[in-house]
Structure 1
Amino acid sequence: MLTQPMPESHVLSAMRALGNLLRASIPGSGLLWVLSDEGFPLQCKGCGEICELLRWGEVQRRRDSTFRGSSPPRIVHNSYVELDRCALETGCDTCRTLRRAFLLEQITSHGAERLGHAGNQWPIYAVLNLGSSGDSELALAVKSPKAVLYSATVHLTNDVRAVARNSRRAAPGPRPDLSALRRVVDDCHRNHECSSRYRWSHRNPTWLLRILPDNLVQLVAGPSEPVDYVVLSYSWGDPATMPAAEWARIKGAGTKTINGRPVPERLNPFSVRELPETMQDAIAISASLGVFYVWIDNVCIPKGTNWDTEASLMHEVYGNSAFTLVASSSTKATDRLLYDRLAWTQRGGACRLRDLWWLHNTPMPLDRVRLESPVSLRAWTLQEERLSPRIVYWAGQRWYWSCLERQVAELGESDWAASPADPCSRSCPQRFLELCRSGDEELLHEEWLDIVQAYTRRDLVAPRDRFLAIAGLAVRFYNAKAANGGAVVTEDYLAGLWKDNFARHLAWSVASAVEPRHNLRHIAPSWSWASLPLRVQTKTKAPFRPSAHFKFVAVRRVEAAEASYALARTETGDPSTDFINRGRAVEERGRGVKAVEVRGRFRRFISDDALNVSWDGIERKRDGRSCFDFGAFPGRSIYARNKGNGTILSKDAHCGEVVGQLDYTIPADDKPDQHPAPYVREGDEREIVCLELGELAMLLLVPDHDWGRPESYRRVGVAIGYTNRKGFFYGCETRSVNLV
């Protein structure tokens, strides 16, 4: 006998009743549901708040199908720990999606762990953002009364096909899928042209670690024939933030020498456990991927080695490697790379709500991993990345692969192939190598400026390595310009700048004036960005059109390196050796350049009759922008200085203003007897003179009387983009000056 089907309303009532029973049966979990009528996923009452946001979005779209805007925030859980418990105990699909979103935002393993720390337990707010084109997202934030501690994004879609494609992918486990990574690496080596295009030479590094069975490794001389090896790019860590014993262990991993040879303890097989954890796991990953040689700077550059020589060979070490393994998840060398990744300890895929919306996670963009990981703050790792044709980024919750032809995120969500016509059609770290190969001079100079901007914000344990940490990039740049069939090479390396586009390279600026006490004038001249303190944000890529009046004249002072420069420039008869030696010699000499002579239009920055006025007296805010009001000073020449951020303004009577940016602030303990000061003291602004670099770009200079030669000036800032005073240099004299 057939029975009539139960009405849908009765089914829902039965499910609610069952939910009440289950809720009552879970001790201490009054916050939890397990069933819902919102498309029948497992849910909790916090997810009901998200459904309210979705209802709000549906109402807006019914009123206006192109509506774009954000909902009021709603609290979906009282803390991350509560969210984590809900996802675990109830299997709530929505909470698992939200939990994973927070974890996927963490680049390091420590970041994921900190989500659960007691001091970070504040309410989780959600806001629905509706885009005009139909794209939508949930913006999540853990907010304390003072700040947003963590944020994350969950994406929404109505495209069932995309959700189905994602659901068919195998979910990762807590441990990385090294078999999938090996397929990606092998595919590049078999089917791409990365090796044939970008391998620099057939030479191996001077020393390599060979991986042996039974967790043993051995330091060996680089074989005479090319071998596959992995380079580890990692952060040593900040000695100020770790116990002294831990820092001693990291430094102690270095290879000692006796009479210039590595000690027997390294030349004989030794246990990988003698090395810090990041190195141990890098060795394990390399072996799992079928590569049995590894290069690690601290181990493979023995103490007492000529560091200058090794630094200038970095373009070979990285360019010839099978790939570079970037330890993006590590904050220091004692962090593990292989651990259970919290984002994947709970299974769960896309989640459907209200029959209309699918919630799903997306991987963090590779650019964020590159720019925000701890390793990106270490100066040495910049050239390690830019000189590597193939890179594995090892992030906190997944790995990423990048080569000239393809980028892949674990699970394949970010898989893309480069255009054959333009291998760098999307952002990729190998752009510098591609431009060196193609020889596009203008773009290559732009890329160098990008390198400078990325480099100056980074840190160095030893400031004396300021130039050494990019020596490999400089050698590669010069050789790209010199690879022209033996023609005369006009390019020259000048303390981090390049002669053929010198005016453009001089036009760098600081984002805001910096404290001067830790400047590096003992390492580089004032006109070089390398003279700035470490960890400074710079701007190098403002629009620039060179002045027809500016000319580089000559190098006037070089310290050291001249003898080795002359020797290295001597031709040996071996084209390959001569080519490499020339690049290394030019880079080595360039580090020692201290003064140059240039020629250009020249004038004073501030008129003799200018009145000094307060910055607050002329600055106004309009529509969130800064502007100026000179109504209180009709017909007067004036100047003003913002002591906070170092901006300085000069305005001649009846003319437009010029706003410059000074490099340094005035320190609180400024003493007039301290000479020479790298900054402009208060009251000395009238000493500033200007040298035209481009149509709307000038150097700000002050006389330097210590060098002992007339017409010598040191840089104190720059002015760029002064559209209100395009004729600032009209009729001015052209002079030759020495920049020191």
Structure 2
Amino acid sequence: MDLEHIPPEIRKLVCETCWRTLFSPGSFQKAWTAQFVPPRDGLAAFSYNPEVLTRTQKQRRQLLNSRNRCEWCRLVCESIEDEYRLRQTTKHQVTVRFHQSRGAITLSIWVENHAYDSAIYATEDDPAARYIPGRDILSDVNSTLAYDMIKKRISGCSLHERCTQVQCGRLPTRVIDCSDPGRPRLFISNGAEDHYVALSYVWGEKQPHRTTSKNLKSYIHGIPLKRIPKTIMDAITVTRKLGFHYLWVDSFCILQDSKDDKAQEIARIRHIFHDSYVTIIAACASKVSDGFLHNRRPTVANSFNSEYLLPFRCPDGNIGTMRLVMGHRRLPFSEPVDNRAWCLEERVLSPRRLIYARHTLLYECHTVHDNVNGAPNFISLRATEEIPRIPNYISPPASAIHDDNLTTGEAWYNIVTLYTQRDLTKPRDRLIAISGIAEHFQYFWPHSRYLAGLWEHQLPGSLLWHIPHIDDSRRRPDVYRAPSWSWASIDGICDSQVFTDVLCTIIHYDVTPARLDNPFGEVVGGYLILEAIVQPAVWEVGMEGPGIFFNVACGPTGLPPWTELWDYDPRGIGCVERDAIESVSEGIGNVYLALVCKDSECGYGLVLVPAINHTSNANDPGYPVFRRVGWFSADLREPIVIAWLNGRSQCVKII
């Protein structure tokens, strides 16, 4: 294609000099065909002396700051000259060639003994896409192309062995009917069956027009568009463009002024997201008024160190564009939804997910986590990318064997760790916001009872959850949420470890759910009777290391007195990790240590203090009553610990 016939938007990308050199038909073709010839063949490439490298630094700066700057000259100056500090006003030979690497096309630029390589990408609708397999990140997430890609992804999901088949089931109690996008309305399903879409998002602010018992009737006739926040309005748009009629959104489909309706719908949350055709995750929206269908190009462009759009001469004579990226994306590691506890449950339970991230649109199912158009991500999104490994464990195909308790158990522990590092607007929802996931795990462990965040068959090892670092601990909540032996009783991140060498026995346990119809939700009471070696100790703040140390005190009547072993290391014989910031954990104090498990090097257990104001009932066996305040580890090589292991067990009640 002659220069005069090149579209102006492409012609202006590079200067006249570059059109006459690298981007002339013969020169570009030589560089392109070099990928089919061994690299050692020096003739299989295009070499020349860029005129821009002979200019002074001031001249180059003026050139790069001009309105009609040349993208190729910018690449040469920014990526080559500045990187390798080439001598100014000296001719430097630059060699350009394309080559293939693992299915991608890479542009290689050599200058003297230095090389710069960058994979090249093309958009789906560009003539260059026929020859360049790599795709640029999708920026227009509200385009016809985007919806075509979504439909293609969902269609392909039905062929995945690990993914659930798309089935038409019962609609949730209420959904938004999006048939007329100009007048959406609430639809009372009454058991009707159809496909629907669910929305997972961050409220981030009050929603004054949410559904209540007062406006329910009027919303059945129609919801005024001005009352619908941007994020929900965008979700209605996506629902319609994908060809669906119904959308489930918590703020409009749950009566927000009814405790009973909230409780009933939350108890169904697992089914709402698990049975949805696809879930829209408004990952980039920090509040409901933000929306998520905006074009990502400005965000993507600003997140690079450098990005270059260059002409591409196609072998068939057409001309398109290719994009090169230099440096790393400078976007945050996480999205707003990654900090919200409720959103973890909504994402894990959903079979298919459209993640509208800051930089692009991602598609995720139990098999795939990828940009919707297959483009490389460029961006490290650790919080986004670590979750897909979990649904692979908790949503296997129906033909899978479900007795792999170790793998499934690790999945549960991973979820608890991810969940507890997220935030809740209402901390009392600590158990409620994970109840749907817990109910889903009952499918794997049908004979195990769920006990306020712990599973019956994982006891006693699951008692050894702990705060990973002293700086992560928070004030103990004033309002009761769970027994002290449950991670749900405190705020902040909790880690778990798997131990198989048990040193105690669980005698009895019980929890009292707030609602009998939801054993996976809120609880109002609970206890556990543990038979273990219990030893009084002194808990004191250590002067060395990050932890808090303890020293074992002389045993009371009924436990061996170890005064002859009192010549201990002044740093203490073990380390304590407190559960919460409270008076007992901020100074020297008397506590009790209950051994639970051990490994080859250490013993591990619970730090207990006597429970105050505990009311016993007539059936109480009279065991001493404690509450948990921490977790400890002790070196099994310590003489006092060796003697401790030979001590006599006793029963204690932990509330």
Structure 2, unmatched stretches of 5+, are 1-19, 22-26, 28-46, 88-105, 107-114, 123-127, 313-322, 378-385, 554-564, 617-622
Given that 1:318 and 1:384 are in contact with CA atoms closer than 8 Å, whether structure 2 keeps it comes out as: yes
**How far is 1:52 from its partner?**
1.4
Given that 2:163 and 2:396 are in contact with CA atoms closer than 8 Å, whether structure 1 keeps it comes out as: no
The aligned runs of 1:657-736 (5 Å cut-off) are: 657-666=573-582, 679-680=584-585, 682-684=587-589, 686-695=590-599, 696-709=603-616, 710-720=623-633, 722=635, 724-725=637-638, 727=642, 729-736=644-651
Q: Which amino acid aligns with 2:210?
A: G
Structure 1, unmatched stretches of 5+, are 56-134, 136-154, 238-246, 353-357, 416-423, 483-488, 566-583, 620-625, 631-635, 640-650, 667-676
Q: Matched residues in 1 for 2:235 and 2:50: separation? A: 56
Q: Which residue of 483, 490, 505 corresponds with 1:532?
A: 490
Given that 1:327 and 1:337 are in contact with CA atoms closer than 8 Å, whether structure 2 keeps it comes out as: yes
Q: Which amino acid aligns with 2:507?
A: V
| Structure 1 residue 505 corresponds to structure 2 residue 500 | no
Indicate the residue corresponding to 2:16 in structure 1. Answer: none
The aligned runs of 1:324-339 (5 Å cut-off) are: 324-339=279-294
Deviates more, 1:310-319 or 1:436-445: 436-445
Deviation track 1:592-626 (CA, whole Å, cap 9, x = no partner) reads 3422212222223349xxxx7x733x55xxxxxx7
Given that 2:282 and 2:357 are in contact with CA atoms closer than 8 Å, whether structure 1 keeps it comes out as: yes
Q: Matched residues in 1 for 2:422 and 2:347: separation? A: 14
Give the match's secondary structure for 2:642. Answer: coil
Deviates more, 1:333-342 or 1:220-229: 220-229
Given that 1:173 and 1:344 are in contact with CA atoms closer than 8 Å, whether structure 2 keeps it comes out as: no
The aligned runs of 1:210-289 (5 Å cut-off) are: 210-222=177-189, 224-237=191-204, 247=205, 250-258=206-214, 263-289=216-242
Give the TM-score of the pair, scaled to structure 2: 0.69
Deviates more, 1:205-214 or 1:426-435: 426-435
Q: Matched residues in 2 for 1:50 and 1:223: separation? A: 68
Give the match's secondary structure for 1:737. Answer: strand
Q: Matched residues in 1 for 2:624 and 2:163: separation? A: 51
Q: Matched residues in 2 for 1:188 and 1:402: separation? A: 12
* CA 1:230–1:414: 2 relative to 1, 3 Å: farther
The aligned runs of 1:160-199 (5 Å cut-off) are: 167-169=132-134, 171=136, 174-176=139-141, 177-188=145-156, 190-192=158-160, 196=164
| Structure 1 residue 380 corresponds to structure 2 residue 342 | yes
Deviation track 1:127-185 (CA, whole Å, cap 9, x = no partner) reads xxxxxxxx9xxxxxxxxxxxxxxxxxxx9748899999994446466422423432334
Q: Matched residues in 2 for 1:428 and 1:49: separation? A: 46
Indicate the residue corresponding to 2:359 in structure 1. Answer: 397
Given that 2:348 and 2:391 are in contact with CA atoms closer than 8 Å, whether structure 1 keeps it comes out as: yes
| Structure 1 residue 653 corresponds to structure 2 residue 610 | no
Indicate the residue corresponding to 1:479 in structure 2. Answer: 443
Q: Matched residues in 2 for 1:515 and 1:481: separation? A: 31
* CA 1:362–1:209: 2 relative to 1, 3 Å: farther
Q: Which residue of 580, 586, 592 corresponds with 2:524?
A: 592
* CA 1:545–1:193: 2 relative to 1, 3 Å: closer
Q: Matched residues in 1 for 2:309 and 2:509: separation? A: 63
**How far is 1:25 from its partner?**
7.6
The aligned runs of 1:247-646 (5 Å cut-off) are: 247=205, 250-258=206-214, 263-303=216-256, 304=258, 305-341=260-296, 342-343=298-299, 348=308, 360=325, 372-413=334-375, 427=389, 429-434=391-396, 438-439=401-402, 440-482=404-446, 489=447, 491-513=448-470, 517=475, 519=477, 521-533=479-491, 536-540=492-496, 542-547=497-502, 549-555=503-509, 558=512, 560-561=514-515, 565=516, 584-588=517-521, 591-606=523-538, 615-616=542-543, 618-619=544-545
Indicate the residue corresponding to 1:43 in structure 2. Answer: 75
Deviation track 1:470-518 (CA, whole Å, cap 9, x = no partner) reads 1111222223322xxxxxx3x2221211111122221111123356545
Q: Matched residues in 1 for 2:462 and 2:469: separation? A: 19
Deviation track 1:275-306 (CA, whole Å, cap 9, x = no partner) reads 11111111112212222211000111123252
RMSD: 4.6
**How far is 1:652 from its partner?**
5.5
Higher helix share: 1
Deviation track 1:548-586 (CA, whole Å, cap 9, x = no partner) reads x4222223563754xxx3xxxxxxxxxxxxxxxxxx543
Q: Matched residues in 2 for 1:402 and 1:459: separation? A: 23
**How far is 1:587 from its partner?**
2.3
Give the % identical residues: 21
* CA 1:167–1:693: 2 relative to 1, 3 Å: same
Deviation track 1:692-723 (CA, whole Å, cap 9, x = no partner) reads 24443211111113214541111111124746
Q: Matched residues in 2 for 1:428 and 1:414: separation? A: 22
Q: Which amino acid aligns with 1:269?
A: G
Given that 1:231 and 1:324 are in contact with CA atoms closer than 8 Å, whether structure 2 keeps it comes out as: yes
Given that 2:593 and 2:607 are in contact with CA atoms closer than 8 Å, whether structure 1 keeps it comes out as: yes
